[in-house]
Structure 1
Amino acid sequence: MILSPFAQRTISALVLGPLLLWSIFYLQGDEFFVLLMLLLVPAAWEWGRLSGQTLILPRIVYTTILIVLFYFGSFIPLGVLLSIALIWWVSALFWLRYFPERTKWVFSRNMGHVAGIIVLIPAWHALGEIHQYGVEFLLSLLLLVWSADTGAYLVGRKFGNRKLAPNVSPKKSVEGLLGGVGFALITAIIAYSYLVKIDMGLPLFLLIAVGVVIFSVVGDLVESAYKRNAGIKDSGSLIPGHGGMLDRVDSLTAAAPIFLFLLTVVGGL
């Protein structure tokens, strides 16, 4: 029996959801670091495909390099990694605006190899650092990104008319973005009230939530640009009904370092 895409997505969510929650709540310190390293393997493997690597051996080498860099990244000051990520994602706003006419070089094969390092290594370390500060912070980040994605889909499907980035992802709309922001703000109010214990006012936390949502969309669009340049629809087929690992975490690659950076700057951590 062949399951429909919706059935596959549902089963995958029911299986992986509890595993993810268990990992977040019960793995600590080095255990969570090892989990992140394991999750980096498929992400790095898929990024090799996005950057145009079609042969197995080069992709194995590339994946190995990213794992090694992730490990040694632990010895680099976190501020350096976050600064690199911030520069990249702010620049991505410009690159996406002028894709592909002026910025196709950013999404070329050669640059793609470097981009995988810049995108994945800071994001993975940010996730680990957020988890160390408290499970509630990582859970809040995930809820913000998931609620924004849900809101963007529902509102965009019903009311979407103005294209957000037609040359990158024709289905995304301005209305969908606003819907995602709205859903995320509701989630942020709930998280602020009942989940996180943080030394800042609600308005400032809501501003951080808006920033996270905007850059989560940028993360999604950057991966879409690389997929478009590589001529592929999904980054992989690891998760039935969902595509590859990168298809599930593309928003987090930008949202995680931005969330950690903003919380650190305003003194929330």
Structure 2
Amino acid sequence: LEAKGIGKRTITSSVKFDLLEDVSLELAIMVDDKKQIRDHNILSLGSLEKILYEWGGVQVRYKGIRVYPYGDDDWLDINKERGLRKATPQDELFAFAQTLKGVDPRRSLLNMLSMKSYVGNVEIGKDAIGFEPKLNREGFVSSPAFDKLKEFVRFAIDWSTILRDYYIREENLKKALIAKERYEEIIGEKVEQSRVIESALAHLETEAKILSEILPPPKRKEFELVFESATDVIRKQHSANQTELTHLRLVASTSTLLLIFSHEVKSLLGDLE
């Protein structure tokens, strides 16, 4: 994988895809979200939507000829699993997600995109074995090779999705840090991370009080009512987020302990046998 902000990343799977000789995959992630388009001069949201509609999905070419309906249908079960809210990767991808700071491996696929956002192309060359087109040319006959192909492509998609989620989180943390530093410059003092929201609200309330004093009485009452309601929502939402974060940390800690306990029990049973 090579992407802006992430750099070049590689992963070597312990699974052997020995049935995929002369098979290659190229994959890109394209999101129809205006905020995630880096340069609107190169590509507008309208143009991207058209591209994804026509070319979105992972297509398959067999000896240079496109095989339908792959790329037009959900042959990789991406949309199906999104609908089921499947969030946990399997085996070594779960282990990989555990190595990324701040990523909950049990939820690392929760932000899986639509199948159309994964724009890719599988090339099956002339030396590939085990791929037999159906008589009507609509896809391949079910085979171990095709099952392995699907597993291989999903491995690549899931891995890149985990990294993308990690990158988005890191970018949000950077933006939050920059905003905190700018705020500290304005107020002329350092603020602990845990107190940023409360400190910012306190300063807002001070400034709002000064502002309300110069407003005419009818406008002042309306302003104070709206401002009080808005700050109350922020405080309560922040408190709820902190409670949820504490709960998730507790669950993560408990899950880890249960995993260790299960491993120890299995080892003990093995010794007894």
TM-score (norm 2): 0.28
Higher Rg: 2
TM-score (norm 1): 0.28
The structure with more strand, counted as a fraction of residues: 2
The structure with more helix, counted as a fraction of residues: 1
Q: Which structure is higher in RCO with an 8 Å CA cutoff and minimum separation 6?
A: 1
